[in-house]
Chain A
Amino acid sequence: MNIAPLLEIEQLHAGVAGKEILRGLDLQIYPGEVHALMGPNGSGKSTLSNVLMGHPAYEVTHGTIRFLGRNLLELPPEERARAGLFLAFQYPVAIPGVTVARLMKAAVEAVRGREQARAAALLHEMRETARWLEMEDSFLNRAINDGFSGGEKKRMEIFQMLLLRPRLIVLDETDSGLDIDALRIVARGVHRALGPDTGVLLITHYERILNHIPPHKVHILLDGHIVKSGGPELVAEIERRGYDWIRESAAATS
């Protein structure tokens, strides 16, 4: 059977403030797959997540991104979200005075449709989801990320992800700065969101989260493109040998 990919990135070149960071990145993610994207600082991991979501400061100079068969680069960020793309931010911003419940009402309405955002049912769903992520009910009435601890911010992202029911989830270093309990909860949330139609792109530079969310495929990003792809065994190798050997072997073959 021929299944269409969720995400198809071809020869992507992109950067910020006139500086090219991604230099010919290729990636395909199919429904049901978990992909891990690993790489050292400065390799272009966050640039990729920003470009995928459509951050206005980032510029795509070459290449294509197709999401569910659509040209993603033509869509503003809100259309990407409505099409089923979700980004869990590495550093989610605070929005003072806007409660979690208020944002989620607007977001569910925009992404899942008005029918799905009826007040009573949605409130019930929000409470249930919050409890499942081991958060207090009062969390719904707090202002978004305002005064949240690092762990709370990451759980907030997972909470939103569960409510928006995306087709492709991009987790941008969601594991950084988390203690083991928070990490376990985040992983539990991702497992709940995963299904045969859903894909995950897990951006990280630690193997720790990958023990909780085992990837089908692992890619190593260096200097703006993927230099090596493989199975889960690649994670252990990175952990043992670091990135330098890959850099060297990549240099040798190019």
Chain B
Amino acid sequence: MYVAVKGGERAIDNAHAWLAEERRGDISVPELSIAQIREQMSLAVNRVMAEGSLYDPDLAALAIKQARGDLIEAIFLIRAYRTTLPRFGGSDPIETEDMTCDRRVSATFKDAPGGQVLGPTFDYTHRLIDFKLAADGEVSTVPVSAPRQSATPHIMSFLDREDLIQREPAGDDAPDDLTRTPLELPASRALRLQSLTRGDEGFILGMAYSTQRGYARNHAFVAELRIGAVAVEMDIPELGFAIEIGEITVTECETINQFQGSKTQPPQFTRGYGLVFGMTERKAISMALVDRALRWKELGEDNLGAPAQDEEFILYHSDNIQATGFLEHIKLPHYVDFQSELELIRKLRREAQENISQEAAE
């Protein structure tokens, strides 16, 4: 006698209760506050905002807490929340020239207006575990200087004056929104950039790295990498002018790549572009490299069959929420389809064995 397995409802409730307990961990250890995560895990917060496509540090910090530090899970929470928000309009393009730069480096000119500002970078830290941090996280006094008041011109603008860098055509006033229209190919560059900026950091990094190692190689000079706060302005129809609705921190990377030219046009450098929410420079540089690799058709280059040149491959596989959902769904029950395969393979084996024994008899 057999009693059918039941209890899906109870299993789910119990699993959720256990999960909540595990999330909290040892209750003799003080609980993390949202402010602690926001302030002390800020790069994780930045990644969640960038890939969640929602600029809200407190919400991102809360998502990280809820997700037990699993950043893809936190990004998922943010995305699912974001979908429920109404889209009430689009901002004006941000002016990164007016950025209050925390960091601004150029790999192409030793000095330029605005200077080289290292900012709070890991770059020249020796990666030695700082055991002192285990006991005491206090910081010593940090030297302070007055911030630069005037705009910091883009390095590219100096090349542009000499006509050395390819000019970008002005885009549509309002590009399509990747999150509101189905992706159809070929996609505009604006859509590609939207996809890359919210794409998985690891995936975009891997793709960018592959171009450096020879899969559609096109050496990139980092003309400029800048990180800082910019104002977001929006046109209010009732007012007839734009007002500032907030301030966000972004990372912008512009690369200079090798030239093209023709009989009628002298050679010019070409561009790759990366722009990501928050302090996220690994992602911004990667994005610029992949952006450049995807532009092969528009720039009249050969399709070398490299993964980073394949728009469909990149755009359909860079989203970690899509990827992780589909990947993990294979742990759901598949009894029914597996059963149909079981029957099929038993039948095929039976037939094959009959054939083999028949041939042996002959």
Q: Do A and B bind each other?
A: no
